[in-house]
Structure 1
Amino acid sequence: MQLARETIGSELQRFEEIFNNAMQSDVLLLNRIMADIAAHKGKQMRPMFVLLCARLCGAINDGSYRAALLVELLHTASLVHDDMVDDAMKRRSAFSVNALWKNRVSVMVGDQLFTKGVLLALDNNDPALLKIYSAAIQQMIEGELLQMTKANKLSFEESDYFDLINAKTASFLAAACAAGASSTTADPGAVQVLHNFGQRVGMAFQLKDDLFDYGKTDVGKPTGNDIKEKKVTLPLIYTVQHADPVLRKKILYIVKHQHTDKDKVNFVVEEVNRSGGLRYAAEKMMAYRDEAFQLLYTFPPSPTRAALEELVRYTTDRVY
């Protein structure tokens, strides 16, 4: 991501100041928690996509920074709530809000971050920005609920999988790119192209995450964790669809009834590796990446376009 950081280096520095200011509170406990969250923030890829898409269409302005701040506030809120729902003890190698302050505080902190984001748009008379992100949040919530309702009826259909990751992951990155573009251009065509671009990148990003779970590299989470949580991802779907009847029955039984047995999970992981499931999912990931490039290349060559291309390559080439 070096080129991206060089291209918008001063803008990222300003964003960092804006984000840190937004995380401050007059409530002592909340200020302490917010400071801890800010200290362990991630790579901030979404704000980078926002600012680069804004630069691609015009000059970065206050609306661009609001779009970047809003996406980071909403994303952080979703992580706090996710850790609470999943009872996760760690987030980015640090203790989660849930681990330190338990469910009640986690709910309020997530709600506070979400409310900050909404007020940011309303206070600056930016309903278009709020509409873009609200639509994505609605998709995310519907995706989560859909996954919950199907938890006991595991689907091994590719279409269901792609619908789910589009709702849970891709929709939010699509909104980030569209929000950045809309802050610097009034051309609805350009905004839509970058929305579609972000959607393709988001699909590729989630496929990469799902590949990690069956890989051999230490990526900070246990291999086979998706199976333990009965999450059906594309490598597993491909394996089940191409297995002989006996093996298919065995894999399905393990996923449904023995997903907490380490040896059984390892057996499924090995079968996914052997079957070509990883290769198939990687091919789909690269196809989405290439679609993203095709959309990006409708814009003329520039350092900003090159930085976005690098950022896209990072999503598929990263090792963690």
Structure 2
Amino acid sequence: MAVVVNLETGRKEAKPDALDRLTELVGADLARVNQLIVQNMQSDVQLIPQLAGHIIAAGGKRLRPLLTLASAHMCGYRGDRAPGLAACVEFIHTATLLHDDVVDESALRRGEASANAVWGNKASVLVGDFLFSRAFQLMVADGSLRVLEILSTASAVIAEGEVLQLMTSNDTATTEQAYLEVIKGKTAALFAAACEVGAVVGGRPKVEEDALQSFGLNLGITFQLIDDALDYSAKQETLGKAVGDDFREGKITLPVILAYLRGDAEERAFWQRTLEKVEQEDGDLRHAIQLMERHGALKDTVARAAHYGAIARDALGIFPEGPEKRALIDVIDFCIDRGF
């Protein structure tokens, strides 16, 4: 029996104007993506569509599929392949979310109970594997070896990024470069692939493939930098997320790295106690935020995001002016503006 999922519910906030414009431009294709998501998460094993539907219906902005569709449109493509690949991208993303919540022992996802909290870790991991498999079936159905190469490589890089994050977690000696390698893998790789396949289906030359890959990669870095800054911001609550999740889990993100490097011996001892030993007391999160503000760590993280956003913007320079290009540039600003 099919499970019906309302893909428009579960969103905690109104979509920003930039994403509204992007959605309007690719609206018909996005509707097809949503149909494909529902169709391809079905299974005779009822727990699979139930659990998959839970996390998919929980919302999100469909940003990665939107990037695939907009990139394809910007490259002059209006056929049936882009929605299938956009659905594939969303399945890869959703599978990683299921696995992430298990690894992080997260009880909430976008303000709702996480799948692992409802059905347990084993079911979440296995349904994540199912969604990865569905993504590869969609790649094969597309029939392009180049598309298969791009998306399968991205899947491997994402897994490497997650393992690298596991290795650097709770290690206050983590460098900014090591942190960047983590977010390039776990977040930016899929942004890059989502955009690059748009040029492939459009039959565009390699230089345009590379430009969209660069745009997506740097947009993904921008997005994750702002996410990491927001974890220590009261604005996080307005997005339906808890403040300080990264802190409680001992994750080493750029705001932590900057505050640690700029702190004195007493402050570094605080970070070592709270993040390396994960010995946390009431008031520690508030003190962590105070240290970040004292040393400009949050402000400078947002500034780093703006830097990578500028690189993403420049990558689109070779494309002619048009509504899709303007909308993609607006998405860069949307990602950065979340940090203010």
* TM tier, smaller: over 0.9
Partner residue in 1 for 2:250: 230
Long gaps (5+) in structure 1: none
Aligned residue runs from structure 1 range 124-203, under 5 A: 124-151=142-169, 153-203=171-221
SS in 1 for 2:42: coil
Structure-2 separation of matches of 1:124 and 1:296: 26
Give yes or no for contact 2:41–2:48 (8 Å, CA) kept in 1: no
Does the C-alpha gap of structure 1 residues 248 and 286 become closer, same or farther in structure 2, counting only changes over 3 Å? same
- Percent identity, please: 33
**Alignment partner of 1:209 is 2:227:** yes
Pairs within 5 Å for 1:51-70: 51-70=69-88
Name structure 2 gaps, 5 residues minimum.
1-18
Q: Could you tell me which residue of structure 1 aligns to residue 93 of structure 2? A: 75
Contact 1:224/1:269 (8 A) holds in 2: no
CA–CA distance in 1 between the matches of 2:183 and 2:144? 28
User: C-alpha distance in 2, partners of 1:93/1:249?
Assistant: 32
**Aligned match for 1:310, one of 295, 308, 330:** 330
- 1:4 paired to 2:22: yes
Deviation at 1:258, TM superposition (A): 4.8
Question: What CA distance in whole angstroms lies between the structure 1 residues aligned with 2:161 and 2:53?
Answer: 30
Change (3 A) 1:101 1:262: same
Give the match for residue 242 of structure 1: 262
Pairwise CA distance, 1:193: 0.6
Tell me: CA distance 1:259–1:71, structure 2 relative to 1, closer, same or farther (3 Å).
farther
d(CA) in 2 for partners of 1:37, 1:238: 33
- Scaled by the length of structure 2, the TM-score of the pair is 0.88
CA distance in 2, matches of 1:175, 1:194: 9
Q: 1:83 to 1:246 in 2, by over 3 A?
A: closer
1:157 positional shift: 1.6
Distance, in Å, in 1 between the alignment partners of 2:234 and 2:144 is 46
Q: CA deviation at 1:132?
A: 0.7
CA shift, 1:260, in A, is 2.6
Q: Within 1, Cα distance between the matches of 2:24 and 2:153?
A: 32
Write the distance in 2 (CA, Å) between the matches of 1:258 and 1:55.
47
For normalisation by structure 1, the TM-score amounts to 0.93
Contact 1:155–1:232 (Cα < 8 Å) also in 2? no
2-structure distance, mates of 1:233, 1:100 = 28
CA distance in 2, matches of 1:203, 1:259: 30
Q: State the match for 1:275 in structure 2.
A: 295
Distance 1:35 1:148, change over 3 A: closer
Alpha-carbon distance in structure 2 between the residues aligned to 1:258 and 1:268: 13
Does the CA-based 8 Å contact 1:177-1:195 persist in structure 2? yes
Are 1:230 and 1:259, in contact at CA under 8 Å, matched by a contact in 2? no
C-alpha distance 228-94 of structure 1, shift in aligned 2 (>3 A): closer
How far apart, in 2, do the equivalents of 1:272 and 1:285 lie? 16
Q: Deviations over 1:268-300 (max 9, x none)?
A: 211111211111111111011111111112211
Is the Cα–Cα contact under 8 Å of residues 40 and 94 in structure 1 kept in the other structure?
yes
The alignment yields a C-alpha RMSD, in angstroms, of 2.0
For residue 28 of structure 1, what is the aligned residue in structure 2?
46
User: Does the CA-based 8 Å contact 2:102-2:124 persist in structure 1?
Assistant: yes
Structure 2 contact 168–252 (Cα < 8 Å) conserved: no
Kept in 1, the 8 Å contact 2:170–2:251? The answer is no
Cα distance in 1 for partners of 2:46, 2:296 equals 53
